[in-house]
Amino acid sequence: MEPTQSTAKKRSRFWIWIAALAGLPLLLFAVSIIPWRSATLLRPEGTIRVVDESGNPVVGARVIVRRYRVGPPPRVETHRFVQQSDTRGLVRFEMKLDTERIFPLLMHGVPQWGFEVCATKPAYRAAVARWLVVDRRRSPKENGHAVPELSLTLATGSGECPWAHYQKGR
C-alpha cells in the first residue's frame, strides 16, 4: 500500500522539524562567537584630592588610576594612568572612551570593569581606594560622568601601591 499524500507531507514536516531542531544549536553557537563592537570606558572623568592626616593638600603626590577587569576571572589590569597632584593636592582626569570586542551570547563574553586609585609620595604610606565599577546597564559616557570626587589621605610612614610592580598581562 502506497502512502497517501497527507502521510507523505506529515513525514516531510517531521524531518524538517528534526533538521531544524538539530541545526538550531549550531546556529546559536555560530551567532554567539561573532564579536560585537561596543563602546567602553577606559578612564572615568573626575577629581582626586590628596591630603595628609591633618587635611593639608599633598603637593606632588603620584596618583595612579588603574583599570582592571572585575569579571570574568581572573582579575587583570588593562590600563594605568599616572599624574602628579598640583599645589592644591588635586588631580583631574578627563574621561577617555574606546571600543572593545564583546561576545554577549557567551558565558564570559562581556567583561565588567573596575577602577582603583592609589596615591603615593616618599615619606608617606600609599592610600588605595576603589573608584568605580562600571555598570553595564548604563552607557560608557553615563558611567564616566557618574564618578564622585575622591579624597585620599596619606599617612606618615612608608609603603607603595599593592599593585605598583604589576605588569600588564601577568
pLDDT tens string 70-96: 876 667 888 999 999 999 999 998 888
Taking the whole predicted model, whether its pTM rises above 0.85 is answered as no
SS3 118: strand
Give domain 36-156's CATH superfamily. Carboxypeptidase-like, regulatory domain (2.60.40.1120)
Residue 122 contacts residue 68 (beta carbons within 8 Å) = no
Domain boundaries, the chain: 1-32, 36-156
| pLDDT of res. 58 | 93
**Which residues, other chains included, contact 50 with Cβ-Cβ below 8 Å and sequence gap of 6+?**
57, 58, 61, 63, 85, 89, 90, 91, 119, 121, 127, 151, 152, 154
pLDDT in tens, the chain (170 residues): 555 667 777 777 888 888 777 777 777 666 667 777 888 888 888 889 999 999 999 999 999 999 888 876 667 888 999 999 999 999 998 888 888 887 776 666 677 788 889 999 998 998 888 887 666 666 666 766 656 677 888 888 877 888 766 655 44
| Longest alpha-carbon distance in the chain | 100
Q: CA-CA distance, 40 to 43, in Å (whole number)?
A: 9
Residue the block writes with cell 606632588: 60
